Structure 1
Amino acid sequence: MLPTPRTDLEPNTLEYEIIPKVKPTGFREYDARWLFEKEINLLGIQALGAGLGTLIHELGKEPRIVVGHDFRSYSVSIKQALTVGLMSAGIEVNDIGLALSPVAYFAQFDLDIPCVAMVTASHNDNGWTGVKMGVEAPLTFGPEEMGRLKEIVLNGAYKSRAGGAYKYVEGMRERYIADLVKDVTFTRKMKVIAACGNGTAGAFAPEALARMGVEVIPMDAELDHSFPKYNPNPEDMKMLHAMVDAVKEHGADIALGFDGDGDRCGVVDNEGNEIFADVIGVMLARDLSALHKNAVFVADVKSTGLYMTDPVLQANGATTKYWKTGHSYIKRYSNEIGALAGFEKSGHFFFREPYGRGYDDGLVAAIALLKMLDRNPDKTMAQLRADLPKTWQSPTMSPHCDDEKKYEVLDRIVAQVQKHSDGGGTFIGQKLRDLNTVNGVRFTVEDGTWGLIRASSNKPELVVVVESPTSEENRNEMFREIEAILAGYPEVGEFNQKL
């Protein structure tokens, strides 16, 4: 087997070519991400595959795995190195080729294969790579599995086994699209912008939507791994603004934006308003709770307070549980409590039967949105949004904080806010009504205005979100309060975007 990985290797050296390089911080809470060549080399990816294969055997799972890759210039080589490592650990690799993450999850069901390893950097900038993994569909790894995988890989504790094999699976793209569209019909004519950011979704979303019978206007659907305009990320304001322009130019009913691996969906309405995904979740919860009385939903801690206060959800008997941010967390918790659907502010939507298989899929979310429009033929997307109580939200804002420091810094921030609360302190001149520390710290004052500070699970950043149900001024004031808190921590750097 391979030597034990190291972190101090430099490219263009002998050691870099014969020893795995693996930076420990690449093992995140629920997936793995590194800057390729700077933080991990191909031998490091091979070691990751050997470690994952070893863990599959350790967990007593059938040694068969689905492997796919996203559209990056280096993703095929990453996948091949991962495959070599998996095979060396005695795993049968079923390669589905270029894929969205939800295509890989679908393949677990379609091929009756328990394990998955999807090579993707999702919405991260070029240069990043990563792997989303799981051994029990529809779930993906959480901290326990990632911690054990990290231990195996960094200690070189992977084990060589016989039985490794490779199979190339043809036609998974068509099988996935056919499964999506098989029962979908609409009575309403709809014009839809399919925004793909030149990422992998360009090879899937426009065709899938067209086969559902809607008029599709593809936007940046040509595959181009240089991402010439912006990263395919439906939370990125550049992508959202481009979607706004496209809606206005074409008179579309809705714009749907997909991220780099197609497991998220962003929305712009017919009037060119960007609707944050947590608000979209409230709209979908309204729609579904009218069909399923006393429905249970899950939302992440970054999400709007409307899930708790919306009068329509209350009238329908709907219940929403706030949980940890992260696709693996929301996916697992939704399945554990039998939720009808889970919603994450980043645009991950998790639909369980009868609408989905429990994993996050941007196109399944798109279908749910179009069905909602179809069930409301006399209303536009903007009118459905206007039916909700008014709140003033922020986008997700992320100040830099090194991976090696962010959790320790966050612990100090949480302790500071807790101490301030315990001492009767105020925010924006109001006493605290609620303090939630399930994932970072979310503090809500008397009028319902709230702010959140947490650590990003997949990038060297903190995450800040604020919202007010009373005024834009209170929202902005809450953000200034958070800025003042973070200014006291020299480890925290510049924001990627601000209000």
Structure 2
Amino acid sequence: MFPKPIATATANTPEFEQTPLVKPTGFREYDARWLFGTELNLMGAQALGLGIGTYLHERGVKPEIVVGHDYRSYSQSIKLALANGLMAAGCRVHDIGLAVSPMAYFAQFALDVPAVAMVTASHNDNGWTGVKMGAERPLTFGPDEIGRLKEIVLSGSGVTRDGGGYVFVENFGERYIADLIGTRKLDHPLKVVTACGNGTAALFAPQVLRAIGCEVVELDCTLDYTFPRYNPNPEDMAMLHAIADAVRQSGAAVGLGFDGDGDRCGVVDDTGEEIFADKVGVLLARDLSSLHPGSTFVVDVKSTGLFMTDPVLRQNGVKVDYWKTGHSYIKRRVHELGARAGFEKSGHFFFNAPVGRGYDDGLVAAIAVCEMLDRNPGKRLSDLRRSLPRTWQSPTMSPHCADEVKYEVVERAVAHFTARARSGEPIAGQAVRDLVTVNGIRIVLEDGTWGLLRASSNKPELVVVVESPTSEANMRAIFAEIDEYLSAQAEVGAYNQKI
């Protein structure tokens, strides 16, 4: 028997060293995130591994699993504790070592292993850890799988079995790089700023982009788990501004930034203008639908309304499906619909064949951007950006809200704005045209201006995004409505960034 986990424990006590610590709120909608040392300890990671292994047996999945870890000072220790739990559950563990998340997903195919558990805090700040899991390639767990895993782990009902084993897969990163490169080769030279925020992608991105024919200008590509310049998150303006400065200084054609576990990509054009990932998605959808007319694309509810109104996409017969935000949700939806690709405003890009295998890989997205430019000789990325109908759009803004109450706060907001809309009351001075409640609430006004409020899937935060196709004033007006409501909620704290 393995001890039943507890929800709280104090470091530097016998209890902390002898009992698994697993805070229940660490089980998110589709993966797991904890503050290491205060919400999860190493025995808690063992309990999680035992739970994952038990769940694989329960589902009848072959008990073999890929594990890897990102570049944080504590990630390898957590991975080895997780692997101990998996082996205790009778699983054969294939350890690919230091990795980006898409490398672990690729290993499921390359090693013919059904399951994956990647230890990563993704774009979260230092101190966080987590696990991205799946048992059916190329998909990762959704709410049902996470819910059942949570039950197994917290109840202490993980089952130990014989038959577990461990193998370290040497030099697997070289196989991943070789697969990315393949036969890809640009026809036209391209100078690219490659920004990794001192995170794990620095092991792979410069090498891959050089191999396909790019002149690479490295930015923060030295591995350093203190993240001395900024957190590796291409949705944060600090990283985007650093990329923009490097593009302008170097005269690069494009700047490409990667998050801490390499499954997301941020883009800056040749003028130093940051292009939010949803609008990069519009450009990529234009490019891919010109090659494959009638394609379907899945986009998250945080994304620009241009997917529905862009004249080029309409001309190419594109079908668009707006879906729940979250890498597991969009990945699953792309798989279900057989879509050409899926896009998230956060910078996750999901390409099916012939570009990818359906999972999110920041480097595959970066290559797709480079190939799009290669197919448009004589046009700069800024030219392609300017060809889009103009909208005024905010970055993703996240006010603090505790995990225990954030969904209740959003439910109250949904009820509040729905009641106002149904009564015919104007919002931001306009009539409400539509309310989308598939994931929080997206309020669409008469002129196409919209504002989204939802709960973050992986941090104690809310998420706010606004956009207007008519004016900056209307964008700010819809934000003011949402912000005024949130400022009156005692559970809502300061924003990470704000327009």
Q: TM-score range by the shorter chain?
A: over 0.9
Please, which moves more after superposition, 277-286 or 421-430?
421-430
Classify the secondary structure of the residue corresponding to 2:431: strand
Distance 1:417 1:356 in 2: 40
Counterpart in the other structure of 1:63 = 63
* Structure 1 ranges of 4+ moved more than 3 A: none
Classify the secondary structure of the residue corresponding to 1:198: coil
Q: Give the deviation of 1:474 after TM superposition.
A: 0.6
Distance 1:214 1:9 in 2: 50
Q: Give the deviation of 1:487 after TM superposition.
A: 1.8
Are 1:409 and 2:375 an aligned pair?
no
Distance 1:282 1:303 in 2: 10
Please, which moves more after superposition, 190-199 or 6-15?
6-15
Structure 1's unaligned 5+ residue stretches are none
Counterpart in the other structure of 1:173 = 173
Classify the secondary structure of the residue corresponding to 1:56: helix
Q: Give the deviation of 1:425 after TM superposition.
A: 1.3
Counterpart in the other structure of 2:244 = 244
AA at the equivalent of 2:20: P
Q: Give the deviation of 1:119 after TM superposition.
A: 0.3
AA at the equivalent of 1:442: R
Distance 1:295 1:243 in 2: 32
AA at the equivalent of 2:114: P
In 2, are the aligned partners of 1:2 and 1:19 still within 8 Å (CA)? no
Q: Give the deviation of 1:369 after TM superposition.
A: 0.5
Classify the secondary structure of the residue corresponding to 1:388: coil
Distance 1:134 1:455 in 2: 23
Question: Aligned runs of 1:83-232 on 2, under 5 Å?
Answer: 83-232=83-232
Distance 1:12 1:384 in 2: 56
Counterpart in the other structure of 1:270 = 270
Query: 1:28-76: per-residue Cα shift (whole Å, max 9, x none)?
Result: 0000000000001100010000000000000100000000000000001
Are 1:258 and 2:251 an aligned pair?
no
Distance 2:314 2:485 in 1: 35
Classify the secondary structure of the residue corresponding to 1:427: coil
Counterpart in the other structure of 1:457 = 457
Distance 2:157 2:420 in 1: 45
AA at the equivalent of 1:147: G
AA at the equivalent of 1:374: D
Counterpart in the other structure of 2:40 = 40
In 2, are the aligned partners of 1:33 and 1:130 still within 8 Å (CA)? yes
Query: 1:389-424: per-residue Cα shift (whole Å, max 9, x none)?
Result: 000000000000000000111111101111111111
Distance 2:8 2:272 in 1: 49
Classify the secondary structure of the residue corresponding to 1:152: helix
Counterpart in the other structure of 2:319 = 319
Distance 1:82 1:275 in 2: 38
Query: 1:210-260: per-residue Cα shift (whole Å, max 9, x none)?
Result: 111110111100000000010100011110000011001110000000000
Classify the secondary structure of the residue corresponding to 2:405: helix
TM-score by length of 2: 1.00
Percent identity, aligned pairs only?
Answer: 66
Give me the CA root mean square deviation: 0.5
Q: Give the deviation of 1:485 after TM superposition.
A: 1.2
Query: 1:411-467: per-residue Cα shift (whole Å, max 9, x none)?
Result: 111011111111111111110111000000001100000000000000000000000
Query: 1:469-495: per-residue Cα shift (whole Å, max 9, x none)?
Result: 000111011111111111221111111
Query: 1:125-171: per-residue Cα shift (whole Å, max 9, x none)?
Result: 10000000000100000000000000000000100000000000011
AA at the equivalent of 1:431: A
Classify the secondary structure of the residue corresponding to 1:229: coil
Distance 2:422 2:433 in 1: 12
Are 1:360 and 2:351 an aligned pair?
no
Distance 2:414 2:188 in 1: 49
In 1, are the aligned partners of 2:468 and 2:474 still within 8 Å (CA)? yes
Query: 1:168-209: per-residue Cα shift (whole Å, max 9, x none)?
Result: 001111101101111211111100011000000011100111
Counterpart in the other structure of 2:299 = 299
Counterpart in the other structure of 1:475 = 475
AA at the equivalent of 2:215: E
Structure 2's unaligned 5+ residue stretches are none
AA at the equivalent of 1:310: D
Q: Give the deviation of 1:8 after TM superposition.
A: 2.7
Distance 1:155 1:448 in 2: 48
Are 1:433 and 2:433 an aligned pair?
yes
In 2, are the aligned partners of 1:194 and 1:218 still within 8 Å (CA)? yes
Distance 2:81 2:233 in 1: 27
Classify the secondary structure of the residue corresponding to 1:426: coil
Distance 1:188 1:141 in 2: 40
In 2, are the aligned partners of 1:90 and 1:160 still within 8 Å (CA)? yes
AA at the equivalent of 2:473: E
Classify the secondary structure of the residue corresponding to 1:470: coil
Are 1:491 and 2:484 an aligned pair?
no
In 2, are the aligned partners of 1:34 and 1:40 still within 8 Å (CA)? yes
